[in-house]
């Protein structure tokens, strides 16, 4: 069992990156990672040792995130105003913030595909398994997501944010 725990712990940095990208909030990301680790340890008997543990953990995280989103969509947040970015940010931080904002504007299914393949460098096969979709669907979502990111980011890296009322 300690060998399996070591395999799981090796994936914590990647799980944190993915959780942070999914949630956009450090505290919620930490909670999501913790829930993922707890769920994986309580259900370790369901993991097949012949398979890589990474896609299995990402599948658990993705499903937990979707469940959280479904629960949150049933409730109305009180006084949720997004914070305005500071005007004097360093260029590199501003670019990361712009990219994060642009990723946040992608459709959820496209964002998940872009993050798993582009950021976590998962194979198409593993990413498709995590999302529970065929590889062709993953490739389509990835293509559409990348194209949408290109549209959102101008030549200077700033997203074109349009308000719709």
Confidence band, pLDDT 50/70/90 cuts, at residue 49? confident
- State mean pLDDT over 37-45: 90
Domain 1-75 has CATH 1.10.1740.10: yes
Residue with the bigger pLDDT between 18 and 97: it is: 18
Residue with the bigger pLDDT between 8 and 156: it is: 8
Q: State the pTM of this model.
A: 0.58
Asked if 18 and 127 count as a contact pair (C-beta separation under 8 A), the reply is: no
Residue with the bigger pLDDT between 86 and 102: it is: 102
Q: What is the pLDDT of residue 164?
A: 53
The top-level CATH class assigned to 91-165 is mainly alpha
List pLDDT tens digits, range 15-38. Answer: 999 999 888 889 999 999 999 999
Q: Do domains 1-75 and 91-165 have the same CATH topology?
A: no
Cα separation values, 144 from 106, 110, 112, 163, 165, Å: 9, 7, 12, 22, 25
| Domain residue extents for the chain | 1-75, 91-165
Q: What is the pLDDT of residue 46?
A: 85
């Amino acid at each position: 069992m300690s060998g399996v725990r070591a395999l799981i712990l090796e994936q914590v940095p990647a799980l944190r990156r993915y959780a942070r990208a999914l949630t956009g909030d450090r505290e919620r990301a930490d909670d999501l990672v913790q829930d993922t680790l707890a769920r994986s340890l309580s259900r370790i008997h369901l993991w097949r040792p012949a398979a890589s543990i990474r896609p299995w953990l990402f599948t658990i995280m993705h499903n937990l995130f979707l469940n959280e989103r479904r629960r949150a969509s049933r409730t109305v947040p009180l006084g949720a105003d997004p914070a305005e970015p500071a005007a004097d940010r360093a260029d590199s931080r501003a670019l990361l913030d712009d990219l994060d904002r642009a990723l946040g504007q992608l459709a959820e299914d496209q964002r998940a595909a872009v993050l798993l393949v582009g950021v976590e460098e998962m194979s198409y096969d593993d990413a498709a398994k995590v999302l529970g979709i065929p590889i062709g669907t993953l490739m389509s979502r990835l293509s559409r997501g990348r194209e949408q990111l290109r549209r959102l980011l101008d030549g200077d890296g700033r997203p074109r944010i349009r308000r719709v009322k």
